[in-house]
Amino acid sequence: MVLFDRPENFINRELSWLQFNKRVLEEALDKNNLLLERLKFISIVSSNLDEFFMVRVAAIRQQLEAGLNKPDPSGLTPKEQLLQIAKTTHDMVKKQYRCLKNILRSLTKEGIFFTPASELTNEQRAFIDQYFYETVYPVITPMAVDASRPFPFLANRSLNLAMLLQSSQGETLTAVVQVPSVLPRIIELPQVNDTHHFIFLEEIIKLNSSKIFTGYTIKSTAAFRITRNADLFLDEEETDDLLTEVEKSLRQRRWGEPVRLEIEENTDKQIHNFLSSALDVNVDDIYAINGSLDTTAFMKFSSLDGYDYLRNPTLIPQHPEALINKGDLFEAIKEKDILVHHPYESFDCVLEFVKRAATDPNVLAIKQTLYRVSGNSPVVQALAQAAENGKQVTVLVELKARFDEENNILWARRLDEAGCHVIYGLVGLKTHCKITLVVRRESDEIFRYVHLGTGNYNDNTAKFYSDLGLFTANAQFGVDASTFFNVLSGYSDPPLWNKIEAAPLGLRKKLYNLIQNEIDYSTSENPGHIIAKMNSLIDKDLILKLYEASNKGVTIDLIVRGICGLRPGIPDVSDNITVHSIVGRFLEHSRIFYFKNNGDEKIFLSSADWMTRNMDRRVELLFPVEDKDNMKRIKEILAITLSDTLKTRILQSDGTYKRVDKRNKNIIESQLEFYSMAVEAIKEQTKHNSKDKLFQPVYKKAE
């Protein structure tokens, strides 16, 4: 009997995440990518790290402070984890800024300059001074720090300048100026010889610092940035009103303990010491930055006008193949289950589904779960409209969706006011599943239409997250969906489901059973086969179950974009397991599970990653795809994903990721492949159309 549960069989969650961020950084480093795309990746590396520090590092820190020093499955104690995180992150940040420098240097060849203070033209300098006076000065608040004036409270992720001042009498003083977040971070300067010049806001302030503290000389200045613990703490059991509780804790978030201090490299020693003691951060948590702090500003910058040739051409989402030449959406769904692959295929059909339901006189009720939606979301608008049209609308709004809480409260109120029945989440659980139910009365009968997805009902992220969605009018799905909403509303206890499986109820067990089933069927002549695509795999028990399956000869292909705690290639433990990871232009987000089941293949889609939180502390759904054509299509999607050579990295048993050996292989970029498939499908269909329906008169639409 092989012992699977040994520390060396697992990869630490945080280190695995850092590996993921490294893969993102590699995209920035990759000279095959276009310059502004690379800049975008630089920005993503930073925003990823921000969240990592605010949530993960903060959590480990808290564990440690609470006196917990229990090792994780890979045998690392929190203390050891923090050490390794610091070491890896310091290296990563150095690499990131070296890369940024290279990119910026390359951009100068394209006529894009980030001008250092020393190279400003007179005209530019005059512009800067005027900009400072007119725009910046009115919104800054300089704060001196001394015995009577304590170090000010600085908001999480805010950029600040520390200054060392000297009075005419010779006494020194420290002061802090917040770089106003209301102003654009990157400002364009007057052009020089048709080249574009830019400067950072903090540089403008620095250049004019003497005007802020009149009567003092500025000895030195340094930009710095604080990251704080930003996880919400809710006492859900004790609260009647989740809405106000979330609001309250949101205010607290800004006050969390500092977990990281980023500071300009070569900062004056005095300022350095002043900041580190005032903020009480360890040496390891101080990141000396060789460049501009907070590169998240480059995200917006990368969409700079006039430089399309430095960006990937926009891939316009196509009309879904299954809906081509289909008039009525409900009719089409009733005819056949419809599978949609975003963002290659447009998310509009999902919006259309809700919008149609909102105005259709036959629709009795709409029910939907919402996790993250875009600002001014058309989904929210449609739901509100539906309620105003007298439909019964039930919406579960997950207030606790991290970093979206503020947004969520706003539109939860909006829905409430419109007359929707709003459920503000469930005590102790985050509702992460994505399901919409439309109840319709057609002549004399009740019909239910269901949409289930792997991605959020967010029209913005749907443009760059790869997700799958299924529309169905299958009565058994309908009953399940109705009951599911009754369970969420607290009207019913969980039943035995017809088709779906839900966490935290039976999902974990269902997955065990599915894996066990492969083990049971697996023989040396006819080994079992599992393909599982997800964002993260860290649940220890599921990993152990996969080890058991591998050990029994089941072939397991995993496609895990982010964290993966499973270590492949260990003899007798995981030598039948491969782990692919794709970091590409679109964020891989779909969760797909394939089981060979001795030839009677089973395919499921899900909202859940294989993380402990998804299995035990979230409301998630897993649902089968049963239509033969749709199954075929998903198998094709999996096959193409697994054959990707360009954006795939393969996890090695030492925990590192290596690119695919491209020798003797066609170069395949799966995401582009999917896109061209979507385009081809449209072309194919319209070609037929041009013959069949060349003359298509338009009459007044029949009711």
Which of the residues are catalytic? 432
- DSSP assignment of 589-642, as one string? --EEEEE-GGGS-EEEEES--BSHHHHHSEEEEEEE---HHHHHHHHHHHHHHH
Nearest CA to 294 among 370, 369, 200? 200
Which residue type, as a one-letter code, is found at position 625?
V
Q: Print the binding letters for residues 650-689 with another protein: x by CB under 8 A, - otherwise.
A: ----------------------------------------
Q: Where are the beta strands (DSSP E) in 201-327?
A: 216-228, 258-264, 286-289
- Whether the upstream peptide bond of residue 571 has omega within 30° of 0, thus cis, is no
Residues 449-508 that bind another protein (CB under 8 A): 476, 479, 482-483, 486, 489-493, 495-496, 498
Closest approach, Cβ 485 to another protein, in A, equals 10
Closest approach, Cβ 561 to another protein, in A, equals 35
Q: Print the binding letters for residues 387-426 with another protein: x by CB under 8 A, - otherwise.
A: -----x-x--------------------------x-----
Closest approach, Cβ 492 to another protein, in A, equals 4
Nearest CA to 79 among 238, 295, 284? 284
Closest approach, Cβ 471 to another protein, in A, equals 20
Alpha helices for 372-456 (secondary structure H):
378-388, 405-418
Interacting stretch for another protein, rule CB under 8 A, among 59-67, 341-349, 357-365, 548-556? 357-365
Measured from the CB atom, is 253 or 391 closer to another protein? Answer: 391
> Tokens 């006494």 belong to which residue?
171
Q: Print the binding letters for residues 580-619 with another protein: x by CB under 8 A, - otherwise.
A: ----------------------------------------
Helix (H) / strand (E) containing 341: strand 338-342
Q: Does residue 365 interact with another protein by CB under 8 A? A: yes
SS3 (DSSP) at 644: coil
Using CA atoms of 405, 406, 412, 414 in order, give the dihedral in degrees to the nearest 10.
-170
Q: Print the binding letters for residues 316-355 with another protein: x by CB under 8 A, - otherwise.
A: ----------------------------------------
Closest approach, Cβ 482 to another protein, in A, equals 6
Taking CA atoms, 253 is separated from 36, 230, 257, 398, in Å, by 33, 5, 9, 18
Interacting stretch for another protein, rule CB under 8 A, among 286-294, 356-364, 537-545, 688-696? 356-364
Rounded Cα gap, residues 180 and 153, in angstroms: 14
Taking CA atoms, 169 is separated from 144, 173, 272, in Å, by 17, 11, 24
Q: Where are the beta strands (DSSP E) in 168-300?
A: 172-178, 186-192, 195-200, 216-228, 258-264, 286-289
Measured from the CB atom, is 525 or 703 closer to another protein? Answer: 703
| φ and ψ of 306, to 5 deg | 85, 5
Residues 208-227 that bind another protein (CB under 8 A): none
Closest approach, Cβ 521 to another protein, in A, equals 19
Closest approach, Cβ 392 to another protein, in A, equals 4
Taking CA atoms, 311 is separated from 33, 36, 47, 255, 460, in Å, by 9, 6, 20, 38, 19
SS3 (DSSP) at 408: helix
Closest approach, Cβ 513 to another protein, in A, equals 12
Rounded Cα gap, residues 527 and 421, in angstroms: 50
Q: Does residue 359 interact with another protein by CB under 8 A? A: no
Q: Does residue 134 interact with another protein by CB under 8 A? A: no
The pair of structure tokens assigned to 541 is 């028990």
User: Are the beta carbons of 131 and 207 closer than 8 angstroms?
Assistant: no
The pair of structure tokens assigned to 99 is 């890369």
Residue partners of 384: CB distance under 8 A and separation at least 6: 414, 415, 418, 420
Measured from the CB atom, is 365 or 433 closer to another protein? Answer: 365
Tell me the site size for another protein, rule CB under 8 A.
27
Q: Helix and strand tally (H, E) in the chain? A: 20, 27
Select the residue interacting with another protein from 29, 192, 324, 364 (CB under 8 A).
364
Select the residue interacting with another protein from 362, 376, 523, 686 (CB under 8 A).
362
Closest approach, Cβ 484 to another protein, in A, equals 12
Angle 378-388/405-418 helices, nearest 10 degrees?
20
Measured from the CB atom, is 144 or 364 closer to another protein? Answer: 364
Phi-psi region at 12: left, alpha or beta (left = phi > 0; alpha = psi -120 to 50): beta
Select the residue interacting with another protein from 7, 75, 361, 375 (CB under 8 A).
361
Contacting residues toward another protein, per CB under 8 A:
361-362, 364-365, 392, 394, 421, 439, 441, 443-446, 476, 479, 482-483, 486, 489-493, 495-496, 498, 703
